[in-house]
Every structure is written in C-alpha cells, then in structure tokens.
Amino acid sequence: MKKSKNLPKPSTQYARLSSKDLLSLYIHPEARTAYKIYVEHFPLDRIAQSEDPAVHLDVFYNRINFYFYRNFAAQLGMTDSTEVYVRKLQPTISSMHLESWRYVLGEFLELNPVNINIYNQLKAQMPKDIQRKLFGKLMTIEDVCRRKGISRHNFDYQHAKQKSVVFRMPSFDELIQRNVNGN
C-alpha cells in the first residue's frame, strides 16, 4: 500500500514512448496468463494484422517500467518503426487482471470459426472468479455459442473438425517395439 502512494498520478493523456522506454514495456504480471494464452494460441495472421504506424496502449507505470495489460494485438503488431503512445491509467491490480481476461475473451469470440483449442485453454486457465465476473457463472459452451450467435451444432461440428491430436513422445522401449514390429 505504501508503494501505491508513491506511484505517479493517473493521466488520461497519451504520451509517446522513447525507444529507450520501449525496452521497459512489459506485460503486467497479473495479465501474464491471459497474455501467454494469446501469444501461444491465437493464429499468427490475427496477431500480425495491425500495420498501424502508431499504437496506443493503456499502461500501469511504477516509475521504472511500463506494464500493459490489454490490447495485445496492437502490441504484438509493433515493429521497430511503430510509434508507441501510452496512457498511464494506473488501474488497480484486480481490474488489470479482469481486463486482460476480458480482452482475450473478446478476441476469442471474434475468431471465426470458433477455435476449440482456445476455448479449452480458457476453460482450463481462466480463474473461476473471473469467469463468474464475466459470465455471472462458470463459462460453458452454451454461453460461448450464445455470445457468438452460433448454434450448439456448429460448435460440435467444429469440435469434431478441429480435433487436435495430443502428441506424446514414446519411451525408448515403445520406440524400439514400434520399429521391431515394423510400424
């Protein structure tokens, strides 16, 4: 709490980040899980979509680093020549946590067709209290279908179509047996 008193005051003005400051731009630890799902699972073309010469981010600033917590697509679309503007909103920890998940969920709902893998990741990793805040209860397939405006059949169809094979490295024993038996 003491720390928070020393934090700079929030501002609604966008300020441009120097290239040196850019190196201090981090994902906020509270938003990390949501961000990790986003960078690991969302399709590449979606991430590299934006070609804006300027990117606007809301950040949390602690006088050393800039922490962003949403608008991941814009951040990932940044190149060396992108101008980055930040707004030091100084949100609370819990709101950054919530916002990061809200952002990823929103991005997920915009994906067409529905991405089953990401649904499973969200279902598994999104904290229960966040699910309750965003849906009023725990997230279900029905909720996703309703929000996306698709039928349950559509979801099931995609589920069957996108069946992801879980890869497991066979042990040395199994590898030998496979080779001996000729398959």
Partner 1 sequence: MEIDIEHATNELIPNVVDDYQNVRKYFLTVAALSGQGFMSLSLPETDKDFVLSKVELKAIYKSCTGRLTNDNFRVTAFIGSTYHLKDLDVSNPAPDWLWVSKICQLLIYCSDRKLINRVTEITTFARLWTVQGSSYHHLWQKCVELQLKDIATTFENIDEYKQHLDDINSPDLNQFTKVHRALKFVLHNKNRIERNSTNGRKSRMTRRIDEEKIEYIELNDVDDDSDELISVTEFLKTDNDIDVMREKLDIGLPDFTILKQTSLQAHEKYSPQQMYHRTRSKLQHANKNERFISNNVRVLPLFALQNIFAYLWQLFEKLSSSHDRDKKRVISYLLLSMLTGRSIAQLSEDITGNNKQYINLNRRNNSYHLNIILDITSLRLRTQGIQKVLANRLLECDISLPEQLGVFLAYKGDINKEILYEVINETRNALKLPYLSLARIEKGLYSTLIHHVSNSQIASIITGRNERKRADIWYSSNSVDNIRTIYQQAIKLLSQKTTYNNDYLNLVSNTFDYKIGSQNCPDYTIVSSFIDLLRQKAEATTDYIEKFNAYSIWLWHVSLLLTSVRAVEGVPGYLNQFNFQVGLIWISDKEERATASSQRYVPLCQFLIKAINQYIDFLKSFSSRFCRLDMRIKYWVDEVMNYERPLINLFNKKGELEAIRPALVRNEIHENFRFKEDWTRHVGQRYLHEQNINESMILSVFGHEMMGQESWRKNSSISIGDILDLRPTYQALANKLEIRQVQL
Interface residue list for partner 1 (CB under 8 A): 23, 25-27, 32, 35-36, 39-41, 47, 68, 75-76, 165-167, 169-173, 175-180
Separation of alpha carbons 160 and 80, rounded Å:
41
Nearer to partner 1, 34 or 98 (CB): 34
Minimum CB–partner distance for residue 92 and partner 1 (Å):
21
Nearer to partner 1, 48 or 138 (CB): 48
Nearer to partner 1, 4 or 120 (CB): 120
**Residues whose CB is less than 8 angstroms from the CB of residue 111 and which lie 6 or more positions away in sequence, other chains included:** 42, 43, 46, 118
Minimum CB–partner distance for residue 23 and partner 1 (Å):
7
**Tokens 């279908």, located at residue:** 145
Minimum CB–partner distance for residue 149 and partner 1 (Å):
28
**Tokens 């949100």, located at residue:** 91
Minimum CB–partner distance for residue 176 and partner 1 (Å):
5
Minimum CB–partner distance for residue 179 and partner 1 (Å):
5
Nearer to partner 1, 121 or 131 (CB): 121
How many other CB atoms are found less than 10 A from the CB of residue 21? Answer: 14
Closest by CA to 110, choosing from 163, 72, 75, is 72
- One DSSP character per residue, 22-48 reads HTTEEE-GGGHHHHHHHHHHS-HHHHT
Nearer to partner 1, 65 or 154 (CB): 65
Q: 131-151 burial string, b = 16+ CB within 10 Å, else e?
A: beebeeeebeeeebbeebebe
